[in-house]
Amino acid sequence: MHPREHGVRLPGAYLHPKDPRLAPFFHNVTVERAISKQFAFLSDLLSGERHYFGLQPFNAHHWMIISDELFDYREAIFDGCVQRQGVPEHLHRRWRALHEQFRREIVKSAARGILMDGVERVHHGFSLEVIEVATVCDGCFSEMVEGSRGRMHPRTGQLYCGACAARPAILAASDPAAP
Ligand code: HEM
């Protein structure tokens, strides 16, 4: 089955960046990016084609602390959407089963590293950087002049000036899984 054949445009996946419980994970991710990645990933699984070049679920969600309950919550949103779209029940069940295959890769109680060539690489904390080309702080948007120091978030690449680096609230906003 190809999703488009049934006029279903993966509505649950489209919704989750806007849901209040799921939105914090999508900080710094555009809705368009989330839609196109999900669409490409699931349509490959459903059609057997190979057009998806994004991350596989373990690495895509490695830093996200997602409980079984939150996973079920997201599934319930998805269920509601496909039901409203009139997806036949037997296809609906197959779709759910597909998502279930990824539960054990996505649900976890602590952040994981990225798996590369079978080795898990974990990046903790922030790296200290000396600014070589003047830029703007991703926290407060003030100028970071050449030669000043900043702290870089290893996953997002966001750079913070000395003042922002001391403000946990700003840093936490860039990483909802941070303790
Ligand atoms: C509560 C459950 C889930 C949450 C909170 C969640 C959250 C996210 C977020 C925030 C991203 C964007 C990552 C980025 O662009 O850096 C993402 C990407 C993605 N998710 Fe999920 N997701 C969930 C469940 C699932 C499930 C069940 C699947 C598969 C069936 C899935 C497949 C994907 C894929 C394929 C990507 C794109 C990876 C890439 O960026 O290359 N997600 N997810």
pLDDT on residue 166: 52
Kindly state whether residues 72 and 137 are assigned to the same domain: no
Could you tell me if residue 122 is inside a domain? no
Higher pLDDT, 9 or 156: 156
Ligand 1: does its nearest atom lie under 6 Å from the Cβ of 170? no
Is the pLDDT confidence value at 13 over 60?
A: no
pLDDT on residue 66: 96
pLDDT on residue 15: 55
Kindly state whether residues 89 and 155 are assigned to the same domain: no
124-176 pLDDT per residue, tens: 778 899 999 999 998 889 999 999 999 998 888 888 998 887 565 455 544 55
Other C-beta atoms closer than 10 Å to the C-beta of 131 total 17
Distance between CA 104 and CA 134 in Å, rounded?
A: 43
Residue-range definition of the domain harbouring residue 141: 127-173
Could you tell me if residue 105 is inside a domain? yes
The residue whose CA has the least distance to atom 30 of ligand 1 is 99
Asked if residue 102 lies in contact with residue 57, where contact means CB atoms within 8 angstroms, the answer is yes
Q: What's the structural domain count of the chain?
A: 2
Could you tell me if residue 179 is inside a domain? no
Kindly state whether residues 109 and 169 are assigned to the same domain: no
Ligand 1: does its nearest atom lie under 6 Å from the Cβ of 25? yes
Q: Which CATH number does the domain housing residue 27 bear?
A: 1.10.490.10
Q: Mean pLDDT score of the chain, rounded to an integer?
A: 83
Confidence grade of residue 30 (pLDDT, cut at 50, 70, 90): confident
Could you tell me if residue 152 is inside a domain? yes
Over residues 40-66, the mean pLDDT reads: 93
